[in-house]
Amino acid sequence: MSGNGLGPTSVCTPLDSSEIRRLSHHYHRYGIATVTNLIEEHTRQLVRTEAERLLEKHAERRDLRLQTTGYTRRSMSVVPSEMIAANSELVTSIYSNPDLIRTLEALAGEKLHPCPKADEEYLITRQEQRGDTHGWHWGDFSFALIWVLVAPPIDVGGLLQCVPHTTWDKAAPRINNYLAENPINTYYFASGDVYFLRTDTTLHRTIPLREDATRIILNMTWAGDRDLKRELDADDRWWDDANVSAASAIKK
């Protein structure tokens, strides 16, 4: 295990009440808020180095389409949650940092719970090949903190697109209906940026890379009260198992 754990006061920069109100308003309106200034710069650099280390040792490639999101594409390398938990004291210490959690709860306006599914607490992804994308999808749990550790230039792709205030029906995802009926908000995040996302009601994707380039993110997931009462099927957990029943291979 990495010995790069952080003390409880080493992660966050305090935000004043007006900044928290501004971020919370944006989060509730658009399902997303940029919180780069919340995370200390040295922490963001440590997390990037740690993610690159874990990718070098543990990356697994995924190329598939997922039935429960209307066969949208997943093409990237991943380090699954359990592998991160077993090999990174840094990531696990940040995830449980009380100052970080309190601030995210202030933005969300509700309590954040540790993710009840061990395979969803964390995920590192690396897009690296032309066409790589995390296609249109929702999250099973309510909250995600996304660390954009390495980003390609804006004209290469990898931008985030979101449609907030939507609902995931795994039997009938209706993604094209949502796209046709609602504005699509597009965001560029540079290397080192961090954003907080309401994942269960915000339909989102990354724009495919138009050439070979590198985009690395760390995803940390928390649950809301509502999530603790739901039973989840395990047939579409593609990051944990490329052979889940909801996955279809991409035809070259």
Continuous segment of H or E residues that includes residue 114: strand 113-114
Cα 211 from Cα 213, distance rounded (Å): 6
- pLDDT tens for 44-76 read 999 999 999 999 999 999 999 999 999 999 999
8-state DSSP, 88: B
Partner residues linked to 41 by β-bridges? none
- pTM of the complete model: 0.95
Decide if pLDDT at 5 tops 70: no
| Lowest mean pLDDT, pick from 137-146, 205-214, 233-242 | 233-242
Sheet holding 185-187, edge to edge: 185-187, 160-163, 203-206
At residue 17, φ and ψ (nearest 5 deg) are -65, -35
The whole-number pLDDT of residue 6 equals 62
Complete domains list, the chain, with CATH: 17-249 (2.60.120.620)
Asked whether the beta carbons of 192 and 150 are under 8 A apart, the reply is no
- pLDDT for position 249: 86
Higher pLDDT, 111 or 232: 111
